[in-house]
Amino acid sequence: MLKFHHLMVQKFLLIFSLLFLAMGLITYYWVKNFYIQQTKESLRHNIELLSLAIPSNKNLDDLAQNIKKI
């Protein structure tokens, strides 16, 4: 039979492990959401810049080559 201090250590480790797992999951989803939002904003910004550049360039092949260089 386990002694009292063994039971306390087991309970503490269980609670600590569950808390660590919960904090890890929360942090993972927060960072994932933040990364997705930043990527969306970056794509919107890039699309706006390209939409301004397309009417001034009649040759889309040259525009594609310039984009590949960047």
Distance CA 36, CA 29 (A): 10
Q: What interhelical angle do 60-69 and 4-56 show, nearest 10?
A: 140
* End-to-end alpha carbon distance in the chain: 69
pTM above 0.75, yes or no: no
Tens-digit pLDDT profile for the chain (70 aa)? 778 889 999 999 999 999 999 999 999 999 999 999 999 999 999 888 888 877 776 777 877 887 788 7
Distance CA 38, CA 32 (A): 10
